[in-house]
Amino acid sequence: MNKIFLFSLLLFISCAEGLAQFHIGIQGGGNLSTMDFTNNQDYRFTEVNYTQGFIGGVVFQYLGEKHAGIQAEMSFSQKGWSENDTIGENNLKYKTRVNYAELAILTHVNMGGGKLRGLLNLGPYVAYALSGTNSVKDMNTQSESSSDYVFDDEADNRLDFGLLAGGGFEYRLAFGKLAVEARYTLGLGDLNKIKVRKSEVSQFRVIGVIARLTVPLGKQPQD
């Protein structure tokens, strides 16, 4: 009986220490996104600007090492861009927004010691467009109209992918970690299938700021 009790105790301790390497949490923040219309003559003289959006979701971390691990994120991410048309008497502002379900698998590194630490995240993401909206605003009258975008499988690529890099700080609490992070997302997909020339590419460029709260699944070691 003593041997069974000792074995059970050691197994419980081992599982508890293993669970402490896993963290789960939530995050949310804002995106500033635009579209890079490379070699697209339609946008040669068009002013393309950033537009605001939301990003948020759940986070899973596996910290196999003291200062490094893997971070997986499943997020709802709003991306888009705006265009200004000032030709002739027109003074119109067009805005496009696309809502994505996004999965990112990142290398996570924390730097320093104590409660306040620096952090770096780097890795790929893949996203799928769920819905979209188009809006037009007359800057002279301030009137605005919007409509849902209907995806065309022959013209639109709903699948997007690219690279994500972020840096910031995390503060270690008694029950978990609170982090603030600035990010840059480099889209490598291509939004449009229909092209006048093969060199045309339409890719997202996104600047983001997020806050994240994670808690360990087991007792957090003191380090």
For residue range 137-190, list pLDDT tens digits in order: 887 777 888 899 889 988 899 999 999 999 999 999 988 999 999 999 999 999
The CATH number of domain 23-216 is 2.60.120: no
pLDDT one-digit tens code per residue, 185-210: 999 999 888 777 776 888 999 999 99
Enclosing H/E stretch for 214? strand 201-216
Q: Are strands 177-187 and 68-85 parallel, antiparallel or unpaired?
A: unpaired
Q: Please give the backbone phi and psi of residue 80, each rounded to the nearest 5 degrees, phi first.
A: 180, -165
Q: Are 45 and 64 in contact (CB under 8 A)?
A: no
Q: Which band of pLDDT confidence, cut at 50, 70 and 90, is reported for residue 20?
A: low
Residue 14 has pLDDT above 50, yes or no: no
pTM recorded for the entire structure: 0.83
Backbone torsions φ then ψ of 6, nearest 5 degrees: -65, -40
**Cα dist from 186 to 44, 116, 126, 128, 152, whole Å:** 21, 28, 11, 16, 24
pLDDT at position 42 over 90: no
- Contact by Cβ (8 Å): 57, 74: yes
Check: CB of residue 78 under 8 Å from CB of residue 95: no
120 residue type, one letter: L
Contact present, 173 and 120 (Cβ < 8 Å): no
